[in-house]
Amino acid sequence: MLEVKRLEVAYGGIQAVKGIDLEVRDGELVTLIGANGAGKTTTLKALAGLLKPRSGTVLYDGRDITGKPAHELVQLGLALVPEGRGVFGRLTIEENLAMGAYTRRDRQVAQDFDRAYTLFPRLKERRRQPAGTLSGGEQQMLAIARALMSRPKLLLLDEPSMGLAPIMVQKIFDTIRAVAAEGVTLLLVEQNAKLALEACSRGYVMESGEIALADDASALLVNPQVRRAYLGE
Amino acid sequence: MSRLYRNPGLRIVFYIAVAAVLVALPFAVDATLGRTWVRILDVALLFVMLALGLNIVVGYAGLLDLGYIAFFAVGAYSYALLASPQFDVHWSFLALLPIGAMVAAFFGVLLGAPTLRLRGDYLAIVTLGFGEIIRIFLNNLNRPVNITNGPQGITLIDPLHIAGASLAKTHTVVGIQVASVHSYYFVFLACAAAAIFISVRLEDSRIGRAWVAIREDELAAAAMGINTRNVKLLAFAMGATFGGVAGGLFASFQGFISPESFALLDSIMVLCMVVLGGMGNVIGVALGAVLLTALPEALRYAGPLQQAWLGTVYIDPSDLRMLLFGAALVLMMLFRPAGLWPSSIRRRELAAPREPAGAEGADVPR
């Protein structure tokens, strides 16, 4: 589904990503963990077409998408849930979801509203409220639901648990699993290494712009290096 | 108001009533307040077009533009150069208004392209500079080759001609005396109505929603698949088009333009109309334009009123005028911060509680 080779991204004069290799297979749930400033968000932004890579190649569904802008990638089924959620605070929940379907011109959008509301009943109750009045966790759910409105094949999630209370974090991860169960391939960037590794099948550990470790998630969970650095032991 | 929306019959009656009032207005104003006020009405309609154009850029797309009057200037000069003795060219306004619109749109893209990455205060500074550059260019393009006639401006600009009749003259239509200011009123009214119609349709279109998304969160908008570059350029171009058409009409109406007519203060004035009227709301913005054109004029009566009530003129009306005008703006912003007639989105913002409505799991923002 996604194959990244020697990707380098510079961001504001600093080389944030220094030639990483990464792969996400069809139907997989893969996580990219690492400390603050390791280059995780920059990687995702480059994959989503919001930043232009300096070098390297990105293959998606077998085609070269390196340097393609986001608006083309969304149409190809590659969507991003940005860091900090990025909901349109003054628009209602329904309008937010409609924005998610911006690139679609088919007639099944109405159906997908129902799908989103089934997945997130809380959003249905509040669909005429401005998104800014939702709690942080609900906003995160809205951000995910909104991204799903474009019917992505690959969904990139940037720090969905950021700033949320533990109960909400748990709910968000349940949601991520549910989305994966629907057949959407996911690449998840997280600081909460434990939860991310428990939810995913494989994981990459990023350190100062490079991939330090790549393994099955279960193996990473017991890896002494990972345990010391990211699991607080 | 809500009954009006639901009942189509009532709505038609309402529209006809509004149209009748608007058609009768110049004659009623002429009879009561005098011809000066019909002229002010004409200018107000031009400002309605300008404010609606700026509203696309500032209100819909959220791009703060402090040099908007430049597009008005570009439109006015496009018209003036091609319909005056300056080059001895006298094209029809039917050709010139679209040309002015296109030239202004071109300049809109010219301003938009280098500022795509800028927002807020930075964008404001660049646009402010752009407005000044245009004015200074117009001021200095008389040497070595005289194009704009420099600070002297362009005189004897052709008035509009409709069906061979010059709008600069008084005509008798079905027994009614229609003076020049009246004829222009109807032309401007038609154009302003078109501007309102286009604005309303744009707001409710795919493009309109894309603009709102960019205003709210540009990165998220890009992640939704919106081509933010093109959509922003389109906002600049569309906004400029309104300004360009208004500029052409202004040139024909005045018969004389000079770079002085397009100063920074005018840009700020149009911005005030947008903000005061209710950023993003078409009717609010149009209302703001009419009020802010009329208010400074009405304050001219401050002198005669003092004379009548107090016996002598204590404060020179020209001093008092801007003072009262400023005070009115401050009061407006204090008591109606979202504008006279806010857009539904702004109303929502102000009505919304500051804290996110507490759901289960008190989420701690970092």
Rounded-to-5 percentages of helix, strand, coil across chain A: 40, 30, 35
Q: CB–CB of A70 and B212 under 8 A? A: no
What number of CA atoms fall less than 13 Å from residue A194's CA on the CB side?
9
Which chain B residues touch A160 with a CB distance below 8 Å?
none
**Pairwise CA distance, residues B70 & B77, whole Å:** 10
Q: Quote the pLDDT of residue B189.
A: 96
Cβ atoms of B312 and B88 within 8 Å: the answer is no
Q: Quote the pLDDT of residue B353.
A: 47
Q: What is the pLDDT of residues B177-235, one digit of tens each?
A: 888 899 999 999 999 999 999 999 999 899 999 999 999 999 999 999 999 999 999 99
Closest approach of chain A CAs to the CA of B7, in angstroms? 24
- Length of chain A, please? 233
Query: Worst-scoring range by mean pLDDT, A86-95, B48-57, B332-341?
Result: B332-341
**Pairwise CA distance, residues A147 & B114, whole Å:** 30
**Pairwise CA distance, residues A149 & B145, whole Å:** 58
Residues 24-53 of B with CB under 8 A from A: none
The band of A58, judged by pLDDT with boundaries at 50, 70 and 90, is: very high
B174 touches chain A (CB under 8 A): no
Average pLDDT, chain B: 88
**Which chain B residue has its CA at the smallest distance from A148's CA?**
B224
Q: Quote the pLDDT of residue A229.
A: 84
**Pairwise CA distance, residues B343 & B338, whole Å:** 8
Q: CB–CB of B363 and A130 under 8 A? A: no
What number of CA atoms fall less than 13 Å from residue A146's CA on the CB side?
33
The answer to whether residue A65 scores a pLDDT higher than 50 is yes
pTM: 0.88
Q: Quote the pLDDT of residue B356.
A: 41
The band of B259, judged by pLDDT with boundaries at 50, 70 and 90, is: very high
Residue from B257, B364, B268 nearest B325 by CA: B268
Which chain A residues touch B216 with a CB distance below 8 Å?
88-91
Which chain B residues touch A167 with a CB distance below 8 Å?
360-361
The answer to whether residue B98 scores a pLDDT higher than 90 is yes
Residue A67's SS3 state is coil
The structure tokens listed for B133 are 């550059």
Mean pLDDT for A2-29 is 91
Q: Quote the pLDDT of residue B358.
A: 38
